[in-house]
Structure 1
């Protein structure tokens, strides 16, 4: 009898071990960190002269880090909409920060954001997010809980498919681009801490959207950080911006530590990207030309990092062209969802996909859009990078401007325009841009490309 029981006990234990061995592994959690208004070189791991970013330096060392990362559009709302959907702005329809208003074409000033008629326009503009499939929408059927914190323009967090969030989106109370969500990082990290505790307790896979209002203006860093930079520059506005970058880095460190403390880091994919670039003016806390809202490197380039312990080998990649349109398909592949063929990006964790990429593209529109549903009406530039060459193609809205061509390896700050001496390259790359997006209006009028 004892021998029989021992054999039964052994077989039961073996069954449990085998079942555990062949059980489907838990799907990875996803944490997306989004910087708000920060230039591609404004990190110590990117060799900035003064800015200290120890937490992001560590993340870069632990990630597949693309130093040649880009966002297609250098303005926050369309850029964030691309990150959450994997679509270009001309595809998802959110091409600018604010919708048109009555009298706009006649030169009438933009009304207050809470003016009743303008609120109606802003609410109507939300139709684009309602028609969009977002990353939380993709993840929800797999049991993922999704938390929105920080910058969010598209009304209430639920409209983006998030199960939980901070932004209420009440436009009557000027809930323009995040309202309560903008407190994250600047005030504390408690909403994320509580969410992580709840997910851990219930063993729920999760997606965290951490898009703090940092280092975005107002540039009001803690004095303890600002004091570190006052002696490094004669410009107080510059010292404030540098300190904001370090403050943002501190909050990223808090978030990453929270994952470690709860034992979540090993099964979490951490992705980093910025929404658009920023070059601070010397004499004021404003952005300089050729940064935010421009097609230049100072506006569109960003490091892109992907950390996934045990699955992604850490490496600094200085060659591959990566884009924020790639983030959704990369996550979908990682969690086992077949990529939607409508998505234009690639899986950045697929070496063959990276190797086969020939070029990346982007588009710049007006801050205040001219049409609710015709992207071409607001188009300023289209651009592409092929190898080391970058072409910036202006639309007819940009009166008097011509195509610009730069060799980014020799001229990373785009000071030497080669367009006049390489007309064949300009013609060839212009043709490629038109093949990517012809930029025709709804009435079928031709591409609005300046001569």
Structure 2
């Protein structure tokens, strides 16, 4: 009898173990994913990246508990193509989103992200995720190009930049519309309330989906000009209104991380914080800083395309890491596909690389090259510590682009400010990067730009 009881108990234990193993493979074992995307935040605008007076305690703590990337690049130096690169894992030049004369989409544009491009939202939705975007879209505002048509189950936000509103010069533009899904719920919104409203919506989305895997994309409109902070933050920063806005954004990040911890979701949630491009230097005190990097938004110098970035995933990403690996925003698409069990698009070149080995401490590097595009033209190439500029142009300048028969060469890890051209001392490196430049250009046919199209067309 005792032997039968032991056999029965062994059988029950096996059943329990079998059920647990099945449960471990269900979609609930997939990590939640959150991407927080600031607008025009510079490399030097965060405390843990060196700003002396802007206080960002929550981002600093996020970096302390996770990994800080010191060489993280975006796919373009202005808004629309940078967001397209993030969403697709592909260089925007491949599908017409690199721009030409108009670098970004405007309220009078009639086009948007092509539907034959798979977004990370669509990929994750197919993998069983609930998907939401809260904030600035800027990949097409006419109905067929809005977020709900590109894989997002939920949308709350403004479809383009917060300065694209009616002015004496732009009286054709409508008042800023605030959308909930496909409906405009407000017109001409009070921007002082925007970050707090975004934060409340983000927390609600997390709470509503806490029992299933979710993807939240939170592209805040700030610190893009015009700058607005709520009463709780206005006038509080030593850096002025720009600092007020960044500090409120930092608070918003803190509220999201706190919610994850309170709900017990922190160890099953990967959070990425970064920016769409470098600081808009023409805005002077209302623009940000690239720190020790040269130039800013609109250029292919480091300050235009290298941005602050932090990864946070308690229990998976070891705390207190500082990574000098070359990483780009396009790497997030294949990383999320790997973690979620999602499928990459067939028949398309993915320009990103899976960062999972970096997150898990299994590798130091995942990519070899970084390509720097100014709209539809390749300006520079980086490999390891070396960067070659084949074309240079100051940001937001009427000066024509300058072509270099012998590219300018910088040892970026020794000279992140790009002050010292060393092409004469390293002809073999110049030759190697020139070959890489030529091979990259020969590897595909750029798609015609769709960025010129206007609504009346």
The TM tier, using the shorter chain, reads 0.7 to 0.9
Tell me whether 1:321 sits opposite 2:321 in the alignment: no
Q: Are 1:57 and 2:57 an aligned pair?
A: no
Q: Distance in 2 between matches of 1:37 and 1:323?
A: 16
Counterpart position of 2:314? 309
Query: What do residues 105-142 of structure 1 show as CA deviations (whole Å, max 9, x unaligned)?
Result: xxxxx9xx66xxxx4xx22x22x431210111111222
With the length of structure 2 as denominator, give the TM-score of the two structures. Answer: 0.76
Mapped to 1, the partners of 2:271 and 2:447 lie a distance apart of 43
Write 1 or 2 for the structure with the bigger share of helix: 1
> How much has 1:271 moved relative to structure 2?
1.5
C-alpha distance in 1 between matches for 2:271 and 2:258: 12
Residues 40-66 of structure 1, C-alpha deviations (whole Å, 9 max, x = no match) = 122111222112111111111222322
Given candidates 339, 345, 361, the residue that maps to 2:371 is 361
Residues 230-272 of structure 1: per-residue CA shift (max 9 Å, x gap): 4xxxxxxx52222222111111111111222222212111112
Tell me the residue number matched to 2:336: 331
CA distance in 2: counterparts of 1:307 and 1:175, whole angstroms: 38
Unaligned runs of 5+ in 2: 166-171, 181-190, 394-398, 449-457
Q: Distance in 1 between matches of 2:320 and 2:200?
A: 32
Q: 1:224, 1:433 → 2: CA distance?
A: 49
Aligned residue for 2:354? 347
Match of 1:144 in 2: 129
State the partner residue of 2:203. Answer: 193
| Aligned counterpart, 1:40 | 43
CA–CA distance in structure 2, aligned partners of residues 443 and 331 of structure 1:
26
1:405 is the counterpart of 2:405: no
Structure 1 residues 135-154: Cα deviation after superposition (integer angstroms, max 9, x where no partner): 11111222211001111012
Is residue 148 of structure 2 the alignment partner of residue 158 of structure 1? Answer: yes
- Equivalent residues of 2:277, 2:304 under 8 A apart: yes
Q: Equivalents in 2 of 1:224, 1:308: separation in Å?
A: 29
Change (3 A) 1:177 1:344: farther
Once residues 330 and 337 of structure 1 are traced to their aligned partners in structure 2, the CA distance between those partners, rounded to angstroms, is 10
| Displacement of 1:407 | 2.1
d(CA) in 1 for partners of 2:307, 2:357 = 20
What pairs with 1:235-314 in structure 2 (closer than 5 Å)?
239-278=240-279, 280=281, 284-286=285-287, 290-314=295-319
Shift of residue 438, structure 1, vs aligned partner: 4.0
Of the structure 1 ranges 85-94 and 286-295, higher mean CA displacement relative to structure 2 is found in 286-295
1:390 paired residue among 387, 390, 398? 387
Shift of 1:423: 5.0
The higher-RCO structure (CA 8 Å, 6+ apart) is: 2
Within the candidate set 67, 70, 85, 1:67 is matched to 70
Does the 8 A contact of 2:296 with 2:304 survive in 1?
yes
How many residue pairs get matched? 404
Per the TM alignment, residue 292 of structure 1 is displaced from its structure 2 partner at its CA by: 0.5
User: Which one is further off, 64-73 or 182-191?
Assistant: 182-191
Residues 1:15 and 2:15 are matched in the alignment: yes
Distance 1:258 1:293 in 2: 36
CA contact (8 A) 1:280 1:287 kept: yes
Q: 1:447 maps to which residue?
A: none
Q: Which residue of 2 aligns with 1:371?
A: none
> In 2, Cα distance between the equivalents of 1:177 and 1:161?
23
1:356 shift after superposition? 5.7
User: In terms of mean alpha carbon deviation, does 91-100 or 241-250 score higher?
Assistant: 91-100
Shift in Å at residue 427 of structure 1? 3.8
Question: Alignment partner of 2:138: what SS?
Answer: coil
Confirm or deny: 8 A CA contact 1:279 1:291 kept in the other structure: yes
RMSD: 3.8
Deviation at 1:7, TM superposition (A): 8.0
The change in CA–CA distance for 1:176 and 1:290 in structure 2 (over 3 A counts) is farther
TM-score by length of 1: 0.77
More off after superposition, 52-61 vs 162-171: 162-171
Long gaps (5+) in structure 1:
102-109, 231-237, 366-374, 445-451
Residue 390 of structure 1 contacts residue 406 of structure 1 at CA under 8 Å; is this kept in 2?
yes
Partner of 2:183: none
d(CA) in 2 for partners of 1:244, 1:72: 25
Superposed CA deviations along residues 163-184 of structure 1, whole A, max 9, x for unmatched, are: 1112585999958998447875
SS at match of 2:197: coil
